[in-house]
Amino acid sequence: MNEILISSLDAVRIQSRIDKARNGGINAPINLVPLMNELNRAKKVEPAKVPKDLVTMNSIITLQNIKTEQITKLQIVYPEDADLTKKKISIFAPIGTALLGYRKGDIISWTIPSGTAEFKILDIVYQPESEGNFDL
């Protein structure tokens, strides 16, 4: 299992939303355990020290489906900002959880109803930390 890195600010903000969801304050999937597990195992780093090739909250990334070779661009966002029509994927969604903390070039996989999906992170088009945007 690859080591994942998460901005310490992202970790606090995600944990806050998990706590809120568990208390009924945010519409969330019933099973937040995979996201909580990822947060617990991730190495937290100061936002200014986040590598530029790391998927963080609000990053816009380009992915390629390993099986179909289809390429897609999406953004990992907090649940309240999710909008599938704009390809803004909640961190609570399985793909959001799977992508956070991985790097350009990594291949990630997660379980879907029809089996396992695998995607390669081709590019990080935008990462807030590399632009000095720590308040997103």
pLDDT in tens, 6-50: 999 999 999 999 888 877 766 656 678 888 888 889 999 999 999
Instruction: Give yes or no for residue 90 having a pLDDT over 80.
Output: yes
Q: Residue 135 and residue 112: Cα distance in Å, rounded?
A: 32
Q: What is the pLDDT of residue 78?
A: 93
The whole model's pTM is what? 0.87
Nearest to 50 by CA among 18, 92, 88, 4: 4
Fold designation for 5-129: Chitinase A; domain 3 (3.10.50)
- As a whole number, the mean pLDDT across the chain is 89
pLDDT reported for residue 122:
98
- More confident site: 28 or 98: 98
Distance between CA atoms of residues 7 and 26, nearest Å: 22
pLDDT at 92 over 80: yes
Cα 29 to Cα 93, 99, 113: the distances in Å are: 8, 17, 15
